Amino acid sequence: MPMDGHFSPLTGLAVHLSQAGHDVRWYVGGHYGQKVHQLGLHHYPFRKAQTVNQDNLDSLFPERVRVKSPLARLRFDIHQVFLLRTPEFIEDLTEIHTEWPFDILVHDVGFMGGVFARHLLGVKTVGVGVVPLAESDPYVGASGLGLHPRMAWPGQLFLGLVRHLIQKYALKTCHTLYNQYRRQYGMPPANDFVFDDLIRTSDLYLQSGVPGFEYPRQRISPNIRFVGPLLPYSKGPKRMYELVNKVSSFKRIVLVTQGTIERDVEKLIVPTLEAFKNEPDTLIIATTGGSQTNELRARYPIRNALIEDYIDFNMVMPYASVYITNGGYGGVMLGLQHKLPIVAAGIHEGKNEIAARLDYCQVGINLKTERPKPVQIYKAVETLLSDLRYRENVQKLGAELSSYPPNDLAERYIADLYQEYALPSEETVWA
């Protein structure tokens, strides 16, 4: 899908497989085609498919701004970004397959073309979970609500009722439209909810992350494999920023980011700067994603702030004490791998699910808001640094994450799925 959180986590694996001698080609729309070329891979652009993502939703569909209910907004986005693109994806993939008969289709969980390509083109499909595992389970709440698991029967009853209301009422039209396409393409209707069906019908489902960062479940589908943190491709160590070299003069270092998509710096970056601007022993490293960097530097001309468009997290995180984020899954995985306790302030786009898991695993604090006050951030950081439980838990989870070689594991699981995978004629396409 043409969105950072769906595209970037697959880049490391794609380059790994390409360098191992496999023919990897990528089908994606928008400006991501240029990124594919920069990875040295062949790019198939969207031809019939329309590029729809968080950047252009409101301009393509002006009526969206009038949708105020969070559930109604979610339903609208699922329709426009994912479901309604299905016939376009099928037409494009069919044309690509005629030109280049690929054998395996690797795609993120949100790509609707996978289940239909498996049926219509006879290819093997490998779904990739670039968000926490979203499969329904009696112990786990409906994905997207950020609810903790409940194993006792009263809790299961409550979660089951909520899941029923979400899937059978609030998002019923999503499942109805999905089954409409299944019938249209000669497939029986799915009994499982649409997103469960996408997971369970993949020949193989690679879940980014590790069991230690997942809720306890009554069962997990047999096609699901945890592979560790799938992270964006990196060319290797980059030059350390000069100002970061002075970290030895600070007692603690707070790293804060809102990712590359969120443009409102007032949500998280400004409150973090406000929280610690008068703490001379605390260095605040803020990465803006290119949003108002110079304005923030002028607004906070303080010795203990480093404000950059982009920062190489692998270079900075070993020095950091705490990581503050709006909850992007890749950044959280990387922070935990570096054994950093995390303050999360995110709700939308599934970030509440990530923040809830941080809280449940006691490796971070979920502020349950996208606009925390400086005092909330300050208290959360103090708690993370003073309560040994967080440090012990994040050390344990970080070690588990580091024990998984994600690209090697993913390649091995794909090879197990498709025995001809290692042959020179093997062909793969990314979506």
- The token pair at 187 is 């497939």
Instruction: With beta carbons less than 8 A apart as the criterion, state whether 67 and 384 touch.
Output: no
pLDDT score for 242: 59
pLDDT score for 66: 87
Q: By three-state DSSP, how is residue 307 classified?
A: strand
Direct distance between the N- and C-terminal alpha carbons of the chain, in angstroms, rounded to an integer: 7
pLDDT score for 48: 94
- The token pair at 156 is 């299961």
pLDDT score for 239: 58
pLDDT score for 290: 87
- The token pair at 238 is 């980059």
Mean pLDDT by 10 residues, the chain (431 residues): 83 95 94 95 95 84 84 88 95 96 93 94 95 95 92 95 94 96 96 95 96 96 97 74 70 91 89 96 93 94 92 90 95 96 91 95 96 97 97 97 96 84 55 73
Q: What is the pLDDT of residues 142-159, one digit of tens each?
A: 988 899 999 999 999 999
- Measured between alpha carbons, how far is residue 283 from residues 246, 251, 274, 348, 385 in Å? 10, 8, 12, 29, 15
CA distance 343 to 326: 8
Sequence letter at residue 16: H
Q: Is 368 left (phi over 0), alpha (psi -120 to 50) or beta?
A: left
Beta strands in 348-403 (DSSP E): 364-366
The single-letter DSSP state of residue 67 is -
CA distance 271 to 377: 8
Q: Count CB neighbours of 31 within 10 A.
A: 10
Phi, psi of 72 (to 5 degrees): -65, -35
